[in-house]
Amino acid sequence: MTETSFHAHIRKPASNAGGFFGYSPVVIVLVGLMLCVMLPPIIFLVMSSLHTTNPDGSFRDFTFRFYTDLVANPRFGRNLWNTSIYAVGAAIVAISLGALQAWIVERTDTPLRQYVFLISIISLGIPSVLYTAAFVLLLGKTGPVNQIIEALFGIQQAVNVYSMWGMIIVEGIDFAPLAFLLLAAVFRSMDASFEEAATMSGASGWQTFRRVTFMLAIPGVSALFILIFIRAFESFETPALVGRPAGIPLLTTDIYRATQVDSPPNYGQAGAYSVALLLIVAVLLAFYNRLSRHAGRFQTITGKGYRPRLMHLGKWRYLASAVLVLLFFIIVVAPIAIVIWASLLPFYQPFSMRAFGMLTVANFRGLFSADLLRDALVNTMILGIGTATVVSIMTALFAWLSVRRYKGAWMLDQLATAPLIFPSIVLGVALLQIFLAAPFAIYGAMSSLIYASSMRYLPYGMRYSYAGMLQIHTDLEEAASVSGAGKLAIFRRIVAPLLAPALITCWLYVFLSATKAVSMLILLAGPDTRVVAVTIFDLWADGSLPKLAAMGVTWTLFMACISGVFYSVARRYGVAAR
Amino acid sequence: MGTPAMLKFAMVLSAALLLAPVTSAADLTVEQVANLKGPDRQKILEEGARREGELLWVGSFNEDNAKPLLDAFAKRYPFIKVNRVRTDSTKALQRVLAEFRARSNKSDLVTSSAVVDLKKAGAIQSFASPTLDAYPAEDKDPEGYWAPFVFYYFGLAAYNTDQVKPPEAPKSYDDLLDPKWKGHIVVNAGSSGMPFFISFLRLQWGDQRATEWLERLAKQKVIGRTESSRTVFSMMVSGEHKLMIHPFLTHVGEAIKKGAPVNVAMVDPVPYTASPLMLAKTAPHPHASMLLIDFLLDREAQTIIRDGGYYPTHPDVQPAPEMAPFLPKTHGLKKFLVDETELANMQPETMKLYQRLFE
């Protein structure tokens, strides 16, 4: 089948959209809405990159200095190179781990596969600062990995986490659940008839995977690659926690200093960096858009029955189970185990007989005061549910309109992806400014927190919805249209239900991420809108590792229970493996 | 403050004092409330605070230690509700400045090390609390923009006693340059760590000697970590590193109390700094805020702070017994206040050195 024959029957809905100059009114309204939401912080960002500031933080003189500083830095070339290796590496690690899990779970008959979805969402419930710190402890000089290697082989300090490899692995593992959840949706809704055709033509399992399954997954995978690449490119956490002790400078090292060490924070430099990033991201997105222009090639949910059949692995399925168990161990068990260990100690120390003698539950006492339980917990849930719902609904609409190539709808995708380039600290400052200037009282209110975190997670939600949408063929919508259904009815009765598995995953991902996001909320939350993440940050900033660990264990347990409830709901909608 | 300004200030103040008993306290400006004097002060503050009913404290100070303080405050003034927004120093600065620019003030009491930035922006109000009278002049701001709330002392280097035996432990600055420490020294890369240390050396020794010594230290491949100072310290205690330069002595005392394998070298003079309390320029609840400031600086609150493992600032409140070994006084060492103003002035040069040698 050639590309043209596929394209021949994809009708461009834009031609019958009506509205103004071929723009659908829905698109116009949504683009207008997004511009209202996105433009103020972008303008603030560009302005701050072009101005020096007065002591009170207001803009003073126009300058290009921050841009010239960025490029004139003698280390710029090397930092850019380091950053690129790190970002590509992290994306490869995350996608490899995620794709392997997703394929085993969705396309094979491997035992235990039904638990991977649950496990992934549990790992998303672990507070981020703690998750990165857990890997630093696991792989550190005196960590259990080095202890075991030394006991077995007598090699001292065989693993050095403070290295480029360490950074790539820590960041890669951090994004593995995201990769798994996105790719599971891709693999699940893939037309198995191609694979069956390949198998019948004599291809081996590996050949089928490489030449059919993988190729069909390319749009999903490339979107994911770009997402993780950008996120790693602008990330502060792993470069700060792992790269800084390794002495590996990245582009964000300067931004870290500008916003965290310098006082007052130098937003000009951070702004210039973000603007440069914005341009790079625009290029990547344009590239991605070209790639997905041929989306017709990848649509596999058509009018005919699309539920893919599972591949029978035979005796290999036990190997596949072993792989799942190993990954479960790496992604969830090991980091949680070290956090539990830390939570039971008066001060952090590696495994030893002396340490065993000191175990205590004192860190768990008084962790949850009545206030915290009452206010912060309720606020956190409102924030998570609100953000996830806003993001899911908006991105479902955006994805539908842009995948169906409504005129101008590409802008929705671009606008929803733009927040990715804001380092959250810069976005936080921009929003703080905007909320304070708003003519109505939004500063410190819950609605402002939902607004801010919706913005932060729109890009991620967009990828879930987009990947899900790409695979829905137009013929069902056309059939509905021919039968007289209006646009809204089509979206509500055809698109939304078909998109439901992707949307539920999207909702869960955003819910879990929004409840643990920190740096922006610290700037924006008011005294009445305390959230649990801020308490966790407080413990992190205070530096009491055992207390932080105790809080983290308790929080993870709580989120695991919530995840479990959602999991059982999600199963009913066919999100998780059957 | 020039003479006319001083005069004007005095006039306003005396007018305020004259009028205070007759007019309602709501007519007083933040500046007037902050600088009230005389026998009626407490009464005016309490009356005003009753009307205000609450205040907002923005900034660093962890919940565990703040809670007993605020409980004690609530016992004394049950009609004041203290709301808190907990942030680190930088974010407290960002918040207060953003509110100040937008003329939409919510914050009252501010705790942040960014005293100079807040002062330059005109976002804080100088104040006079009678409790400060008991404090020695060297510990407080002559202009009254901040009051010392907690002290932090710093050691030269803390070391892991499992890996470093006392005889081989460093005892002087030059001991740190011994090649045996190469790759084993860690430092907090945040502003209270290496940048503070560099400024302190420049203050103490002058630029030339400090730079020479730091250049030699840089050859030791000092590892910078970006976690909080206490986490960096606990990574050293856990054995990841042998030495930590410029540790907070409170962390050392706390760890030794819990049986951690750690000790510290202190040298003369011992640098210290104060965690400052500030009042926002346009605080919406100045009366309640002044009552809280008075309270946090008095004996009762300072004793609670001491019991939380911190070094109290009140001269009559002695540090906890387990903290005493880590006081400069115990060892006959002088203490050296590294003033926030000086730190801010030195910052540009310090950051250049820091970037060149340690990043």
pLDDT tens-digit series, residues A316-353: 888 889 999 999 999 889 999 999 999 999 888 888 88
Length of chain A, please? 578
User: Which chain B residues are closer than 8 Å to A350 by Cβ?
Assistant: 238-239
- What is the rounded distance in angstroms from the CA atom of residue A129 to the CA atom of residue A136? 11
Instruction: Considering only the C-alpha atoms of chain B, give the largest distance between any 2 of them, rounded to a whole number of Å.
Output: 73
Residue A128's pLDDT is what?
Answer: 78
Which of B222, B226, B228 to mutate: most A Cβ within 10 Å? B226
Q: How far is A554 from chain B (nearest CA, A)?
A: 18
- What is the rounded distance in angstroms from the CA atom of residue A210 to the CA atom of residue A218? 11
Task: Please name the residues in contact with A447: beta carbons below 8 A apart, sequence gap of 6 or more.
Answer: none
What amino acid is encoded at A498 in this protein?
Answer: L
User: Which chain B residues are closer than 8 Å to A531 by Cβ?
Assistant: none
Q: How far is B35 from chain A (nearest CA, A)?
A: 24
Give the nearest partner residue to A253 out of B120, B344, B359, using CB atoms.
B359
Specify the range with the lowest mean pLDDT, choosing from A198-212, A348-362, B57-71: A198-212
Which of A59, A261, A367 to mutate: most B Cβ within 10 Å? A261
Written as six digits, the tokens of A49 are 């990159």
Specify the range with the lowest mean pLDDT, choosing from A41-55, A513-527, A546-560: A513-527
Which of B97, B220, B242, B357 to mutate: most A Cβ within 10 Å? B97
Please give the distance of CA B239 from its chain centroid, rounded to a whole number.
29
CATH T-level fold of A3-8+64-572: MetI-like fold (1.10.3720)
DSSP per-residue string spanning B199-259: HHHHHHH-HHHHHHHHHHHHTT-PEEE-S-HHHHHHHHHTTS-SEEES-BHHHHHHHHHTT
Residue B20's pLDDT is what?
Answer: 45
Mean of all residue pLDDT scores within chain A: 81
Domains and CATH numbers, chain B: 3-150+275-312 (3.40.190.10), 156-265+328-358 (3.40.190.10)
Q: How far is A282 from chain B (nearest CA, A)?
A: 30
Chain A residue with minimum CA distance to B254: A347
* Integer CA distances (angstroms), B54 to A287, A370, B123, in order: 55, 20, 20
**Which position has the higher pLDDT, A566 or B255?**
B255
User: Which chain B residues are closer than 8 Å to A78 by Cβ?
Assistant: none
Nearest residue to A514 (alpha-carbon basis) of A202, A228, A124, A148? A124
User: Which chain B residues are closer than 8 Å to A527 by Cβ?
Assistant: 56, 83-85
Average pLDDT of the residues in B236-261: 92
Whether residue B245 is predicted with pLDDT greater than 90 in this model: the reply is: yes
Contact A444/B87, CB-based, under 8 Å? no
Angle between helices A532-542 and A496-516 (to 10 degrees): 40
Specify the range with the lowest mean pLDDT, choosing from A61-70, A364-373, B119-128: A364-373
* Integer CA distances (angstroms), A104 to A86, A298, A328, A456, B249, in order: 27, 20, 13, 31, 53
Whether residue B16 is predicted with pLDDT greater than 60 in this model: the reply is: no
Instruction: Give, as one character, the DSSP assignment of residue A367.
Output: S
Q: Are B95 and B86 in contact (CB under 8 A)?
A: no
User: Which chain B residues are closer than 8 Å to A132 by Cβ?
Assistant: none
Spell out a b/e string for A347-365, using b for 16 or more CB atoms within 10 Å of the CB, else e.
bbbbeeeebeeeeeeebbe
Contact B190/A261, CB-based, under 8 Å? yes
Helix (H) or strand (E) holding B311: strand B311-312
Specify the residue for token string 């000092």: B222
Phi, then psi, of B245 in degrees rounded to 5:
-80, 145
User: Which chain A residues are closer than 8 Å to B348 by Cβ?
Assistant: none
Which of B110, B124, B240 to mutate: most A Cβ within 10 Å? B240
Query: pLDDT grade, residue B1 (50/70/90)?
Result: very low
Q: Does residue B93 sit at the A interface (CB-CB below 8 Å)?
A: yes
Residue A539: how many CB atoms within 10 A of its CB? 26
- Considering chain B, what percentage of its residues have pLDDT values greater than 90? 58
Give the nearest partner residue to B237 out of A263, A347, A429, using CB atoms.
A347
Give the nearest partner residue to B91 out of A262, A523, A539, using CB atoms.
A523
- What is the rounded distance in angstroms from the CA atom of residue A436 to the CA atom of residue A424? 18
- What is the rounded distance in angstroms from the CA atom of residue B248 to the CA atom of residue B262? 13
- What is the rounded distance in angstroms from the CA atom of residue A417 to the CA atom of residue A457? 9
Query: pLDDT grade, residue A476 (50/70/90)?
Result: confident
Q: Does residue B107 sit at the A interface (CB-CB below 8 Å)?
A: no
User: Which chain A residues are closer than 8 Å to B64 by Cβ?
Assistant: 366
- State the pairing for strand pair B270-280/B147-153: antiparallel
What own/partner pairs with CB < 8 Å and gap ≥ 24 does A265-268 have? A265/B90, A265/B93, A265/B94, A267/A48, A267/A53, A267/A426, A267/A429, A268/A48, A268/A49, A268/A50, A268/A51, A268/A52, A268/A53, A268/A63, A268/A65, A268/A66
Q: How far is A77 from chain B (nearest CA, A)?
A: 16
The residues in B 248-277 lying below 8 A from A, measured between CB atoms, are 251, 255, 258-260
User: Which chain B residues are closer than 8 Å to A535 by Cβ?
Assistant: 63
A71-103: pLDDT as tens digits: 887 777 888 899 999 999 999 999 999 989 988
Q: Does residue B99 sit at the A interface (CB-CB below 8 Å)?
A: yes
What own/partner pairs with CB < 8 Å and gap ≥ 24 does B1-10 have? none
| Rg (chain B; Cα; Å) | 22
Give the nearest partner residue to A433 out of B98, B122, B186, using CB atoms.
B98
* Integer CA distances (angstroms), A522 to A444, B93, B278, in order: 10, 12, 20
3-state SS assignment for residue B337 = strand
Q: Are A523 and A429 in contact (CB under 8 A)?
A: yes
Which of A237, A244, A344, A347 to mutate: most B Cβ within 10 Å? A347
The residues in B 220-239 lying below 8 A from A, measured between CB atoms, are 221, 223-235, 237-239
Query: pLDDT grade, residue B152 (50/70/90)?
Result: very high
Chain B residue with minimum CA distance to A367: B64
A372-406: pLDDT as tens digits: 666 778 888 899 999 999 999 999 999 988 888 78
Query: pLDDT grade, residue B161 (50/70/90)?
Result: very high
Chain A residue with minimum CA distance to B343: A263
Written as six digits, the tokens of A540 are 């992190």
Domain ranges of chain A: 3-8+64-572
Instruction: Considering only the C-alpha atoms of chain A, give the largest distance between any 2 of them, rounded to a whole number of Å.
Output: 76
Contact B62/A538, CB-based, under 8 Å? yes
Give the nearest partner residue to B98 out of A261, A366, A432, using CB atoms.
A432
Which of B61, B90, B223 to mutate: most A Cβ within 10 Å? B90
Whether residue A417 is predicted with pLDDT greater than 50 in this model: the reply is: yes
Specify the range with the lowest mean pLDDT, choosing from A49-53, A367-371, A463-467, B76-80: A367-371
- What is the rounded distance in angstroms from the CA atom of residue A536 to the CA atom of residue A550? 10
- Considering chain A, what percentage of its residues have pLDDT values greater than 70? 88
Chain A residue with minimum CA distance to B65: A542
Chain B residue with minimum CA distance to A249: B359
Residue A17's pLDDT is what?
Answer: 45
Contact A543/B87, CB-based, under 8 Å? no
Whether residue A252 is predicted with pLDDT greater than 90 in this model: the reply is: no
- Considering chain A, what percentage of its residues have pLDDT values greater than 90? 14
Give the nearest partner residue to A56 out of B122, B221, B223, using CB atoms.
B122
What amino acid is encoded at B261 in this protein?
Answer: P
User: Which chain A residues are closer than 8 Å to B355 by Cβ?
Assistant: 257
Which of B194, B232, B234, B248 to mutate: most A Cβ within 10 Å? B234
Residue B51's pLDDT is what?
Answer: 95
**Which position has the higher pLDDT, A212 or A446?**
A446
Average pLDDT of the residues in A365-373: 67
Q: What is chain A's percent helix, strand, coil content, to nearest 5?
A: 75, 0, 25
Whether residue A114 is predicted with pLDDT greater than 90 in this model: the reply is: no
Average pLDDT of the residues in A186-203: 75
B258-271: pLDDT as tens digits: 889 999 999 989 99
- What is the rounded distance in angstroms from the CA atom of residue A317 to the CA atom of residue A110? 5
User: Which chain A residues are closer than 8 Å to B93 by Cβ?
Assistant: 263-265
Q: Please report which residue ranges of A154-250 form alpha helices under DSSP H.
A: 164-188, 192-200, 205-208, 214-216, 218-233, 237-238, 244-246
Task: Please name the residues in contact with B255: beta carbons below 8 A apart, sequence gap of 6 or more.
Answer: A347, B233, B234, B237, B262
- What is the rounded distance in angstroms from the CA atom of residue A47 to the CA atom of residue A59? 8
User: Which chain A residues are closer than 8 Å to B281 by Cβ?
Assistant: none
Specify the range with the lowest mean pLDDT, choosing from A4-18, A99-113, A309-323, B223-237: A4-18
Angle between helices A267-293 and A410-417 (to 10 degrees): 140
B276-286: pLDDT as tens digits: 999 999 899 99
User: Which chain B residues are closer than 8 Å to A54 by Cβ?
Assistant: 121
Cβ-Cβ pairs closer than 8 A, A with B, add up to: 159
Burial of B327 (0-12, 13-18, 19+ CB in 10 A): buried
Average pLDDT of the residues in A242-252: 85
- What is the rounded distance in angstroms from the CA atom of residue A407 to the CA atom of residue A24? 7
Please give the distance of CA A570 from its chain centroid, rounded to a whole number.
19
Q: Are B44 and B290 in contact (CB under 8 A)?
A: no
Contact B228/A264, CB-based, under 8 Å? no
Residue B31's pLDDT is what?
Answer: 93
B283-322: pLDDT as tens digits: 999 999 999 999 999 999 999 999 988 899 999 999 888 8
- What is the rounded distance in angstroms from the CA atom of residue A260 to the CA atom of residue A250? 15
Residue A11's pLDDT is what?
Answer: 41
Angle between helices A116-124 and A496-516 (to 10 degrees): 40
Q: How far is A428 from chain B (nearest CA, A)?
A: 10
Whether residue B183 is predicted with pLDDT greater than 50 in this model: the reply is: yes
Contact B230/A543, CB-based, under 8 Å? yes
Q: Are A115 and A184 in contact (CB under 8 A)?
A: no
Contact B238/A348, CB-based, under 8 Å? yes
Average pLDDT of the residues in A555-564: 86
**Which position has the higher pLDDT, B185 or A230?**
B185
- What is the rounded distance in angstroms from the CA atom of residue A558 to the CA atom of residue A535? 15
Contact A56/B83, CB-based, under 8 Å? no
Q: Are B72 and B301 in contact (CB under 8 A)?
A: yes
Give the nearest partner residue to A436 out of B84, B98, B255, using CB atoms.
B98
A139: phi > 0 → left, psi -120 to 50 → alpha, else beta; which? Answer: alpha
Task: Please name the residues in contact with B162: beta carbons below 8 A apart, sequence gap of 6 or more.
Answer: B239, B261
Q: Are A423 and A274 in contact (CB under 8 A)?
A: yes
Most confident of A65-69, A126-130, A458-462, B168-172: B168-172
Average pLDDT of the residues in B325-352: 87
Query: pLDDT grade, residue A13 (50/70/90)?
Result: very low
Give the nearest partner residue to B226 out of A244, A262, A527, using CB atoms.
A244
